[in-house]
Amino acid sequence: MTELSTLPLSLTVNGRIETVQVEPWVTLLDLLRERLGLMGTKKGCDHGQCGACTVLVNGRRMNSCLRLGAMHEGDEIVTIEGLAGPDGTLHPLQQAFIDHDAFQCGYCTPGQICSGVALLNEGKATSREAIREYMSGNLCRCGAYTNIADAIEAVAAEQARTAMREAAE
Ligand code: FES
Ligand code: FES
């Protein structure tokens, strides 16, 4: 029997450099979940249709089920496990999801939060309509959409208030 060929891969995941041997067909999603044990990123459709597997790649949101791990040599990946501070303080959007009751079963939540964090960083959460449009790649079977939009809107408003305060100082 021939041995399966693997490639060496080094990437940063949640601030840690990870070096692994990976088969060329392994997706980033499977690499994160099965090789690195980061089970927070969820596999929904595995076909790029639901957004459950969304992670941040060099700050941009991507469906990790559509990426091959081997494509990410040297990249910086952030998953839901990497969003809280080192002392466990939740990211403001994680806290807002709790405050606004933005999840039910929670299966879509890691992808929703990663997508929402990128959206906020992109500065595109400028209106309710924009939030809905830019979050449309993330599906929620439970239908928590209204509260998800509330959570993102609340963080966007807080960021705008902070920016105004800082500009006034
Ligand atoms: S699991 Fe990747 S988009 Fe559905
Ligand atoms: S909270 Fe259940 S799928 Fe979104």
Q: How far is the CA of 64 from the centre of ligand 1 (A)?
A: 7
Neighbours of 150 (CB within 10 A): 19
Which helix or strand (DSSP H or E) is residue 133 part of? helix 128-134
Report the Cα 93 to chain-centroid distance in Å.
Answer: 11
Euclidean distance between CA atoms 87 and 73, whole angstroms: 29
Euclidean distance between CA atoms 81 and 83, whole angstroms: 6
Q: What tens-digit pLDDT sequence spans the chain (169 residues)?
A: 456 699 999 999 999 999 999 999 999 999 999 999 999 999 999 999 999 999 999 999 999 999 999 999 999 999 999 999 999 999 999 999 999 999 999 999 999 999 999 999 999 999 999 999 999 999 999 999 999 999 999 999 999 999 999 998 8
Euclidean distance between CA atoms 148 and 69, whole angstroms: 29
Quote the tokens at residue 53: 């597997």
Ligand closest to 44 (CA) is: 1
Atom 4 of ligand 2, residue of closest alpha carbon: 140
How far does the chain reach from its first CA to its final CA, in angstroms? 70
Q: Is any ligand 1 atom within 6 A of the Cβ of residue 43?
A: yes
